[in-house]
Protein backbone atom coordinates (compact mmCIF):
# COMPACT_ATOMS: atom_id res chain seq x y z
CA UNK A 1 0.00 0.00 0.00
CA UNK A 2 2.84 2.33 0.84
CA UNK A 3 4.38 1.74 -2.59
CA UNK A 4 1.07 2.52 -4.33
CA UNK A 5 0.82 5.79 -2.43
CA UNK A 6 4.37 6.78 -3.43
CA UNK A 7 3.65 5.86 -7.05
CA UNK A 8 0.42 7.88 -7.01
CA UNK A 9 2.22 10.83 -5.45
CA UNK A 10 4.96 10.64 -8.12
CA UNK A 11 2.33 10.64 -10.91
CA UNK A 12 0.59 13.67 -9.39
CA UNK A 13 3.93 15.50 -9.06
CA UNK A 14 4.80 14.66 -12.68
CA UNK A 15 1.44 15.91 -13.92
CA UNK A 16 1.76 19.11 -11.91
CA UNK A 17 5.28 19.74 -13.23
CA UNK A 18 4.13 19.22 -16.80
CA UNK A 19 1.35 21.80 -16.57
CA UNK A 20 3.55 24.81 -17.23
CA UNK A 21 1.84 28.10 -17.88
CA UNK A 22 1.26 28.67 -21.59
CA UNK A 23 3.02 31.78 -22.88
CA UNK A 24 1.79 33.51 -25.97
CA UNK A 25 2.91 36.52 -27.95
CA UNK A 26 0.34 39.20 -28.57
CA UNK A 27 0.76 41.79 -31.28
CA UNK A 28 1.88 45.14 -29.89
CA UNK A 29 -0.79 47.70 -29.24
CA UNK A 30 -1.26 50.49 -31.75
CA UNK A 31 0.53 52.84 -29.38
CA UNK A 32 3.70 50.74 -29.51
CA UNK A 33 3.62 50.24 -33.27
CA UNK A 34 3.11 53.86 -34.23
CA UNK A 35 5.18 55.00 -37.20
CA UNK A 36 8.47 56.75 -36.51
CA UNK A 37 8.22 60.49 -35.94
CA UNK A 38 11.16 62.60 -34.78
CA UNK A 39 13.08 65.80 -35.38
CA UNK A 40 16.65 66.56 -34.29
CA UNK A 41 19.57 68.82 -35.01
CA UNK A 42 23.07 69.43 -33.68
CA UNK A 43 26.04 71.56 -34.63
CA UNK A 44 29.68 72.11 -33.69
CA UNK A 45 31.56 75.35 -34.39
CA UNK A 46 35.02 75.92 -32.99
CA UNK A 47 36.80 78.97 -34.38
CA UNK A 48 40.15 78.00 -32.89
CA UNK A 49 40.39 74.67 -34.70
CA UNK A 50 38.24 75.66 -37.67
CA UNK A 51 35.78 72.84 -37.07
CA UNK A 52 32.29 73.68 -38.30
CA UNK A 53 29.83 70.86 -38.96
CA UNK A 54 26.27 69.85 -38.15
CA UNK A 55 23.27 67.70 -39.01
CA UNK A 56 19.50 68.04 -38.88
CA UNK A 57 16.84 65.49 -39.76
CA UNK A 58 13.11 65.03 -39.41
CA UNK A 59 10.98 61.98 -40.03
CA UNK A 60 7.28 61.31 -40.15
CA UNK A 61 6.51 57.71 -41.06
CA UNK A 62 8.31 56.83 -44.30
CA UNK A 63 9.00 60.48 -45.18
CA UNK A 64 12.50 61.47 -44.05
CA UNK A 65 14.37 64.66 -44.90
CA UNK A 66 17.44 66.41 -43.60
CA UNK A 67 20.78 68.00 -44.28
CA UNK A 68 24.31 68.05 -42.99
CA UNK A 69 27.28 70.30 -43.58
CA UNK A 70 31.02 70.42 -42.96
CA UNK A 71 33.72 73.07 -43.33
CA UNK A 72 36.29 71.63 -45.73
CA UNK A 73 40.05 72.19 -45.32
CA UNK A 74 40.09 74.24 -48.55
CA UNK A 75 37.75 76.82 -47.00
CA UNK A 76 34.49 75.78 -48.67
CA UNK A 77 31.36 74.72 -46.81
CA UNK A 78 29.95 71.46 -48.16
CA UNK A 79 26.20 70.97 -47.71
CA UNK A 80 24.22 67.81 -48.39
CA UNK A 81 20.43 68.03 -48.47
CA UNK A 82 18.57 64.73 -48.73
CA UNK A 83 15.22 63.05 -48.51
CA UNK A 84 13.89 59.52 -48.39
CA UNK A 85 10.31 58.95 -49.41
CA UNK A 86 9.20 55.37 -48.84
CA UNK A 87 10.66 53.03 -51.44
CA UNK A 88 12.06 55.79 -53.68
CA UNK A 89 15.41 55.52 -51.92
CA UNK A 90 17.92 58.08 -50.68
CA UNK A 91 18.08 61.19 -52.86
CA UNK A 92 20.85 63.70 -52.08
CA UNK A 93 21.89 67.07 -53.44
CA UNK A 94 25.43 68.24 -52.72
CA UNK A 95 26.36 71.93 -52.85
CA UNK A 96 29.37 74.06 -51.92
CA UNK A 97 29.59 77.60 -50.57
CA UNK A 98 32.67 79.76 -50.90
CA UNK A 99 35.84 79.52 -52.97
CA UNK A 100 38.48 76.83 -52.57
CA UNK A 101 41.79 78.22 -51.29
CA UNK A 102 45.06 76.38 -51.64
CA UNK A 103 47.54 78.50 -49.70
CA UNK A 104 51.12 77.33 -49.66
CA UNK A 105 52.45 76.30 -46.27
CA UNK A 106 55.07 79.06 -46.34
CA UNK A 107 52.47 81.82 -46.67
CA UNK A 108 50.47 80.76 -43.63
CA UNK A 109 51.39 81.98 -40.17
CA UNK A 110 50.19 78.81 -38.49
CA UNK A 111 51.93 76.45 -40.93
CA UNK A 112 53.13 73.23 -39.43
CA UNK A 113 56.87 72.76 -39.15
CA UNK A 114 58.28 69.53 -37.73
CA UNK A 115 60.47 69.92 -34.66
CA UNK A 116 64.20 70.03 -35.25
CA UNK A 117 66.09 67.10 -33.75
CA UNK A 118 68.28 67.82 -30.74
CA UNK A 119 71.39 65.70 -30.29
CA UNK A 120 73.51 65.53 -27.28
pLDDT (tens digit, 9 = 90+) per residue, 30-41? 555 568 899 999
pLDDT (tens digit, 9 = 90+) per residue, 43-97? 999 988 888 999 999 999 888 999 999 999 888 999 999 999 777 788 999 999 9
**How many angstroms separate the CA atoms of 26 and 16, rounded?**
26
Non-local CB neighbours of 73 within 8 Å, separated by 6+ positions = none
Q: What pLDDT, on a 0 to 100 scale, did the predictor assign at position 39?
A: 96
Q: What pLDDT, on a 0 to 100 scale, did the predictor assign at position 61?
A: 85
Cβ-in-10-Å burial (0-12, 13-18, 19+) of 90 comes to exposed
Q: What pLDDT, on a 0 to 100 scale, did the predictor assign at position 116?
A: 84
**How many angstroms separate the CA atoms of 81 and 20, rounded?**
56
- Estimate to the nearest angstrom the gap between the alpha carbon of 89 and the chain centroid: 18
Per residue in 8-30, is it b (16+ CB within 10 Å) or e — as a string?
Answer: eeeeeeeeeeeeeeeeeeeeeee
Q: Where along the chain do its domains lie? A: 36-100
Amino acid sequence: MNMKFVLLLACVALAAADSRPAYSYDAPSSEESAEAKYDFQWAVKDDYSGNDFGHQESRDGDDTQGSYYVQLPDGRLQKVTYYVDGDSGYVAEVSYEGEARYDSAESREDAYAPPRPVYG
